[in-house]
């Protein structure tokens, strides 16, 4: 009986001290933390921003933070397992840009995800517009870090790289080492000599790709995604016409996920006393 009392007393003490997983008491609500994050970006207010709460109660006390690209079911379960209840995602939670759920009210996939979020009292906040307004852009900076290419920038804009001259084929081999589980879509000649690389994260639209490809000195663009009938066909025609241009599509997730990995480290610089973790959502498809 004496040993049992000692054990129970220890559990109570640990719980009150916030040392048991999921029981951390920080005093910081999700709303307070996200307000601090926006303030730290030093950005002017973004009109009609999508950086709002997508699920959960903003007044929930935060026990831990997870940054991720997509708040997938897998990411949510991993967050719960490590005692984190605030998920900061770069992209939508419910399958469309504004997370409009009208069409999903009777959908079993949506309902199961919502039920899991509610049962575990999770809070999900989107961090899209403001991270792109960091100086430098947080998503671009994260990719430059991931590639080890900060030394190839001018020190201000981490989306232009002047690398030692190589070939498109060798560049692909390097990218495969960084993203071994990823499949790339490539248009261009493998033997093409390259030196100047531009990076275009996510899905900014083909107009942004066209602008980069026309830019003097840009040999290859590393991009996220675009409808196949747009930039894909433009670069295909350019190659057939004999122009030394190429583009590599990493996929939307891979092109921006390193930015959310960097985001976790950035948050640790001013959020104290709360665990912060990055959890990769990884590409949503596999290739065959």
What does the pLDDT read at residue 20?
35
Alpha helix (H) residue ranges in the chain: 2-17, 30-40, 73-81, 108-119, 138-147, 168-178, 206-214, 231-240, 252-268
Instruction: Give domain status of residue 62, yes or no.
Output: yes
Same domain, 143 and 248: yes
30 and 98 housed in the same domain:
yes
Residues 223 and 182 in one domain: yes
Tokens 């020190």 — which residue? 155
Domain boundary among 114, 133, 152: 133
Whether residue 153 sits in one domain with residue 79: no
The whole-number pLDDT of residue 25 equals 62
pLDDT of residue 24: 54
DSSP, collapsed to helix, strand or coil, labels residue 198 as strand
Residue 284 lies in a domain: no
DSSP-derived secondary structure for 124-175: EEE--TTGGGSSS-HHHHHHHHHHT-GGGS-SS-TTEEEEEEEEHHHHHHHH
User: Is the residue at 17 inside a domain?
Assistant: no
User: Does residue 281 lie in a domain region?
Assistant: no
Contact 280, 261 (CB under 8 A): yes
Give every CB contact of residue 257 below 8 A, 6+ residues apart in sequence: 69, 280, 281, 282
Q: What is the structure's pLDDT at 247?
A: 99
Domain at 209, CATH number:
3.40.1390.30
Local structure of residue 48 (DSSP, 8 states)? T
Count of structural domains within the chain: 2
Model pLDDT, residue 30: 98
Mean pLDDT in order along the chain per 10 residues (288 residues)? 39 37 69 98 98 98 99 99 99 97 98 99 99 97 98 91 98 98 96 98 98 96 98 98 98 98 98 98 90
pLDDT digits (tens, 9 = 90+) for 80-105: 999 999 999 999 999 999 999 999 99
pLDDT of residue 27: 85
> Do 116 and 196 fall into the same domain?
no
Range of the domain at 41: 24-133
In a domain, 288, yes or no: no
- Say if residue 123 is in the same domain as residue 179: no
33 and 97 within one domain: yes
- Do 120 and 149 belong to one domain? no
In a domain, residue 261? The reply is no
Please indicate, yes or no, if residue 233 is contained in any of the structural domains: yes
Q: Cβ neighbours of residue 27 under 8 Å, at least 6 residues apart?
A: 61
**Residues 147, 125 share a domain:** no
Q: What is the pLDDT of residue 6?
A: 37
State the pLDDT at residue 34: 98
Please check whether residue 93 lies inside any domain of the structure.
yes
C-alpha count within 13 angstroms, C-beta hemisphere, residue 74: 9
């Amino acid at each position: 009986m004496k040993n049992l009392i000692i054990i129970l007393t220890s559990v109570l003490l640990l719980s009150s001290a916030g040392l048991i997983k999921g029981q951390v008491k920080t005093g910081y609500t999700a709303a307070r933390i996200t307000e601090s994050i926006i303030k730290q970006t030093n950005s002017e207010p973004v009109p009609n921003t999508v950086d709002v709460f997508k699920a959960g109660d903003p007044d929930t006390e935060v026990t831990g933070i997870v940054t991720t690209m997509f708040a997938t079911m897998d990411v949510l379960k991993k967050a719960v397992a490590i005692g984190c209840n605030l998920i900061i995602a770069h992209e939508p939670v419910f399958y469309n840009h504004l997370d409009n759920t009208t069409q999903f009210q009777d959908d079993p996939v949506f309902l199961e995800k919502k039920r899991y979020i509610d049962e575990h009292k999770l809070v999900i906040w989107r961090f899209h517009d403001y991270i792109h307004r960091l100086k430098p852009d947080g998503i671009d900076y994260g990719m430059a870090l991931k590639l080890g290419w900060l030394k190839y920038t001018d020190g201000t804009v981490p989306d232009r790289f002047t690398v030692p001259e190589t070939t498109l084929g060798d560049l692909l081999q390097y990218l495969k080492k960084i993203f071994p589980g990823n499949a790339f879509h490539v248009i261009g000649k493998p033997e093409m000599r390259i030196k100047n690389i531009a990076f275009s994260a996510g899905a900014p639209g083909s107009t942004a790709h066209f602008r980069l490809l026309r830019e003097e000195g840009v040999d290859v663009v590393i991009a996220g995604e675009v409808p196949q009938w747009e930039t894909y066909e433009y670069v295909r025609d350019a190659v057939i016409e004999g122009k030394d241009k190429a583009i590599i599509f990493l996929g939307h997730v891979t092109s921006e996920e390193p930015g959310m990995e960097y985001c976790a480290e950035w948050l640790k610089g001013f959020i104290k006393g709360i665990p912060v973790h990055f959890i990769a959502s990884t590409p949503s498809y596999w290739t065959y």
